[in-house]
Each structure stands twice: as structure tokens, then as C-alpha cells.
């Protein structure tokens, strides 16, 4: 999209920039000629992987730091035109076993980042990666932004606080900020080493390794998915458009699929691949939200965003990527 030339020469900070979505934002912005700095803690348990930015190392600055360090953040926000705030503890299961860490990263650190902006760079524009998880178990479908907020896990509560700190700083201090409530995002660079964040990563890995894909429950749960390039597009649109300030937007897809259908699509793309339906593990069932798909009319109307990459296309591209680079993500990772 030609409008993105506005990022040329601009100073951009991406927290969580070595992770899945952050590295894809960095790649797009570096190609446009933005001056990109990444802030990422590279905590081994989390989704950061230096291979995600292997092709970009000479076109950006990497600062290995933790967003929980207010002094580092106070330094890093200075002089930046845009902040894509994507660092996060992303595992729903881990948020239940270690709720305090989730609170520190997804809520308290977000407040420190915003304070750093207020004190050192109130002119920055911030786009925060929020999540559809904060709606909890849907009362109606598709879920729009007016749907009640009822998180079913600690992560959802802390992400909600993180989101609302951004809106508050927009509304009270005029620090331009907005939040996108992402749904299941997939593509090159996603976490495949384990199933802590999403089942789809491990499904892709199993397909490539010739192991069966395990579908929990009856496999009828409905979901929507966005390919990462479409999510990057939404983040960039939100950064450039003042109509996004102070707003939350759902992402989503018109392509709503059951998990069984998704497993079928995936296994059809790889000769010999297969899936099995197995009982839901108890710890996952407890925080499962049943069917979910989002209504993204608002971002379509306000920012003109629409997903462009369909599932067969996106899954094929993702499988091709991990087929080629598996050694960087799990064999030796
Ligand atoms: N991927 C999805 O499907 C999805 C869905 C909804 C919301 N989101 C949100 O989007 C954001 C990015 O997600 P992702 O899929 O790219 O995850 P990811 O795990 O690949 O990336 C997150 C990055 O944040 C870094 N990080 C974690 N804690 C940090 C800390 N304390 N200090 C500095 N860096 C830290 C990690 O090292 C990692 O590189 C997250 O905030 C997540 O909650 C993602």
C-alpha cells in the first residue's frame, strides 16, 4: 500500500520486535526505509527467535532489554515517531501457573512504557497489540467491540489492563494510542517450538515432522485466523491514521473454520500428513472459550482494512517456510 511511504525515514520502536509479529512489522518497515529499533528481552521461554530477523540485522538496531526495566524504556522511547508495542507474555496456560509474571509484563510494564512516553516523548504514536482473549466465551457471534469483556484467564485480564492504560493515556494525556484486538495470527516466525501460545504452531510442526495433528474435543470449535502480513498491514494503518487514536479495533476474517476443517486443510497441503481427534486436556478445557470469530466491520469502515490472504494460501506459505527453516525453530533451537 503506497501510503506506507510515510514511514520512510521515521524512527520506529518495536517492543517484542524479535518475536513473530514484531519481526514481520520490522521487515515491512525496514523495506520502506524506516529507522527501526527493536526492544526484546529474548527470554528463552518466550516467542523471540533471532532467526526471525536474520535477514534484517544490518537494517535495524536491536536492543536486548526487558520492557519491565523502566530506565531502559525511558531511554528507548526518546526520539521515536512510532511505537509498536508488541512485547508480551503470550501463553494463556503460563498466565495461570505464573500469574505474577504475566501481570508484570502485560500490565505493569505497559504502564511504565506509557509513563516513559508521557515524560520523555509525548508526541509518539503508539499501537498496542491487544487480544480477542479478553472477550472470554462469546455471548454472540461474530463478536464485535461492544461485546461484554469477560476474560477467562489471567492473561486476558492483564492484557485488558494493558490495553486500557493505552486508551487512558490517549484520553487523559493526549498521547496518541490505539489497540488492535488480534485474533489467531499465523505465518512465518510464529511460535512452533511448543504449544504454549497456540495449537496451530505445533500442528504445523507435526505436519512437517510426519506426526499426527491432534485435534482436541470434537473439533467443531469455530475460529478465525489472520495471516501475519494482514496483521502487519492493520498495525501500520492504525499507526498512520489519526482516526484510530483512542480506539480499539477487532481484527478477524470472513473465513470461519472449525478446527477439524483447519486440520483437514493443513494435512491436505502435505502428502502423508494426518490428524487425530483426541480428548481435551483438562487444563486447556478449563480456559477454552468454545466458538469464537470476530466482527471486524469497524476497522474496515474506519481504516479500510481487510484481510487479503486466505487460509490455503497462508498455510501453504507457512508450511513452506518451516519446511525450509525447521532447524532454526526446533531441530537445533
Ligand atoms: N500471535 C497471536 O495470535 C496473537 C493474538 C492476540 C494477541 N497477540 C499479541 O501480539 C503481541 C505479539 O505476539 P507474537 O505472536 O508476536 O508473540 P511472540 O511471543 O512471538 O513475541 C513477543 C515478543 O515479546 C518478547 N518479550 C516478552 N516479554 C518481554 C519483556 N518482558 N521484555 C521485552 N520483550 C519481551 C518476546 O521475547 C518475544 O520476542 C503480544 O503482545 C500478544 O499478546 C498475538
DSSP assignment of 165-231 equals HHHHHHHHH---EEEEEE-EEESTT---S-SSS-HHHHHHHHHHHTPPEEEETTS--EEEEEEHHHH
Instruction: Judge whether 141 and 196 are in contact, CB under 8 Å.
Output: no
Q: Angle, nearest 10°, between helix axes 259-268 and 199-209? A: 30
Distance 126 CA to ligand 1 centre (A): 16
Nearest CA to ligand 1 atom 2: 185
Residue in 23, 53, 86, 194 to alter for ligand 1 test, most ligand atoms within 8 A of Cβ: 86
The DSSP code for 17 is: T
Would the CB of 62 count as within 6 Å of ligand 1? no
Is the minimum distance from the CB of 16 to ligand 1 under 6 angstroms?
yes
Would you say the CB of residue 48 lies under 6 angstroms from ligand 1?
Answer: yes
Helix, coil or strand: residue 34: coil
- Going from the C-alpha of 237 to that of each of 55, 111, 178, 280, 287, the distances in angstroms are 24, 24, 11, 38, 32
Task: Compute, in angstroms, the gap from residue 197 CA to the centroid of ligand 1.
Answer: 9
Answer whether 182 contacts ligand 1 (Cβ < 6 A).
yes
- C-alpha 137/C-alpha 286 separation (Å) is 11
Is the minimum distance from the CB of 68 to ligand 1 under 6 angstroms?
yes
Rounded distance from Cα 16 to ligand 1 centre (Å): 6
Q: What's the CA dihedral at 253, 255, 256, 257 to 10 degrees?
A: -130
Cα 128 from Cα 243, distance rounded (Å): 15
Distance (Å) from CA 272 to ligand 1 centroid: 33
Cβ–Cβ < 8 Å for 182, 132? yes
CA of 130 to the centre of ligand 1 (A): 10
Predicted confidence at residue 333, as pLDDT, reads: 46
- Contact indicator for 155, 287 with CB cutoff of 8 Å: no
Per-residue pLDDT tens digits of the chain, which is 333 residues long: 457 999 999 999 999 999 999 999 999 999 999 999 999 999 998 999 999 999 999 999 999 999 999 999 999 999 999 999 999 999 988 999 999 999 999 999 999 999 999 999 999 999 999 999 999 999 999 999 999 999 999 999 999 999 999 999 999 999 999 999 999 999 999 999 887 778 899 999 999 999 999 999 889 999 999 999 999 999 999 999 999 999 999 999 999 999 999 999 999 999 899 999 999 888 777 777 889 999 999 999 999 999 999 999 999 999 999 999 999 999 754
CB 176 within 8 A of CB 230: no
Query: What per-residue confidence (pLDDT) applies to 131?
Result: 97
Q: What is the pTM of this model?
A: 0.97
Q: What is the DSSP letter of 143?
A: B
Of 304, 246, 309, 252, nearest to 138 by C-alpha is 252
Amino acid at each position: 500500500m503506497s501510503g506506507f511511504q510515510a514511514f520512510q525515514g521515521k524512527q520506529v520502536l518495536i517492543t517484542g520486535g524479535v518475536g513473530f509479529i514484531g519481526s514481520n512489522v520490522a521487515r515491512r518497515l525496514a523495506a520502506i526505509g524506516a529507522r527501526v529499533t527493536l526492544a526484546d528481552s529474548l527470554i528463552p521461554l518466550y516467542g523471540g527467535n533471532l532467526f526471525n530477523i536474520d535477514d534484517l540485522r544490518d537494517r535495524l538496531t536491536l536492543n536486548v532489554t526487558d520492557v519491565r526495566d523502566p530506565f531502559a524504556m525511558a531511554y528507548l522511547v526518546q526520539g521515536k515517531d512510532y511505537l509498536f508495542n508488541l512485547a508480551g507474555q503470550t501463553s494463556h496456560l503460563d498466565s495461570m501457573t505464573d500469574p505474577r509474571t504475566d501481570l508484570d509484563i502485560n500490565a505493569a510494564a505497559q504502564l511504565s512504557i506509557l509513563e516513559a512516553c508521557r515524560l520523555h516523548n509525548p508526541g509518539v504514536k503508539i499501537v498496542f497489540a491487544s487480544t480477542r482473549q479478553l472477550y472470554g466465551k462469546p455471548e454472540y457471534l461474530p463478536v464485535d467491540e461492544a461485546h461484554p469483556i469477560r476474560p477467562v484467564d489471567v492473561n486476558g485480564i492483564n492484557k485488558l489492563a494493558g490495553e486500557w492504560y493505552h486508551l487512558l493515556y490517549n484520553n487523559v494525556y493526549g498521547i496518541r494510542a490505539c489497540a488492535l484486538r488480534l485474533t489467531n495470527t499465523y505465518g512465518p516466525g510464529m511460535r512452533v517450538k511448543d504449544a504454549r501460545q497456540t495449537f496451530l504452531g505445533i500442528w504445523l510442526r507435526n505436519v512437517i515432522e510426519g506426526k499426527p495433528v491432534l485435534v482436541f474435543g470434537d473439533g467443531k470449535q469455530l475460529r478465525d485466523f489472520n495471516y501475519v502480513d494482514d496483521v502487519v498491514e492493520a498495525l501500520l494503518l492504525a499507526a498512520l491514521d489519526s482516526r484510530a487514536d483512542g480506539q480499539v479495533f477487532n481484527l478477524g476474517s470472513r473465513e470461519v473454520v472449525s478446527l477439524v476443517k483447519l486440520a483437514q486443510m493443513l494435512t491436505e497441503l502435505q502428502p502423508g500428513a494426518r490428524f487425530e481427534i483426541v480428548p481435551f486436556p483438562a487444563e486447556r478445557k478449563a480456559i477454552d472459550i468454545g466458538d469464537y470469530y470476530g466482527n471486524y466491520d469497524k476497522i474496515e469502515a474506519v481504516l479500510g482494512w481487510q484481510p487479503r490472504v486466505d487460509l490455503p494460501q497462508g498455510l501453504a506459505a507457512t508450511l513452506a517456510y518451516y519446511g525450509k527453516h525447521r532447524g532454526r525453530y526446533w531441530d537445533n533451537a
